Amino acid sequence: MTETETDTGTETGTPVQHDWQAWQRSWDRQQEWYMPDREERFRVMLDVVEAVAGPEPVVLDLACGTGSITARLRERLPGARSTALDLDPVLLSIARGTFEGDERVEFVTADLTDPDWPAALPRRPYDAVVTATALHWLSADALRTVYGQIAGVLRDGGVFLNADHMRDDEAPRLNAAMESFHAARKERDRAAGAQDWRDWWTRVADDPVLAGAARRRFELFDDPRLPKPGGDAGIREGRPVTTAWHLDALTGTGFAEVRRMWCSSTDAVLAALR
Task: Judge whether residue 99 has pLDDT over 80.
Answer: yes
228 within domain boundaries: no
Q: Measured between alpha carbons, how far is 40 from 63 in angstroms, rounded to an integer?
A: 19
Kindly give the residue spans of alpha helices, DSSP state H, lying in the chain. Answer: 20-34, 38-53, 68-76, 89-99, 140-153, 172-191, 197-206, 211-220, 243-251
> Nearest 5°: phi and psi at 270?
-105, 140
Whether 38 is covered by a domain: the verdict is yes
240 part of a folded domain: yes
The verdict on residue 263 lying in a domain is yes
pLDDT digits (tens, 9 = 90+) for 209-239: 999 999 999 999 999 999 876 554 444 566 8
Number of domains in the chain: 1
pLDDT in tens, 13-39: 444 568 999 999 999 999 999 999 999
Domain presence at residue 199: no
> Residue 147 domain-assigned?
yes
214 in a structural domain? no
Q: Using one digit for the tens of pLDDT, what is the confidence trace for 63-74?
A: 999 999 999 999
With contact defined as beta carbons under 8 Å apart, do 71 and 33 qualify?
A: no
What number is the average pLDDT over the span 83-108? 98
Whether residue 200 lies inside any domain: the answer is: no
Q: Are 80 and 50 in contact (CB under 8 A)?
A: no
pLDDT single digits (tens) 34-75: 999 999 999 999 999 999 999 999 999 999 999 999 999 999
* CATH for 34: 3.40.50.150
Residue span of the structural domain in which 133 resides:
2-169+234-273
H-helix or E-strand spanning residue 155: strand 154-165
Cβ 132 vs Cβ 268: under 8 Å: no
Burial of 97 (0-12, 13-18, 19+ CB in 10 A): buried
Sign of the CA dihedral 95, 97, 102, 106?
Answer: positive
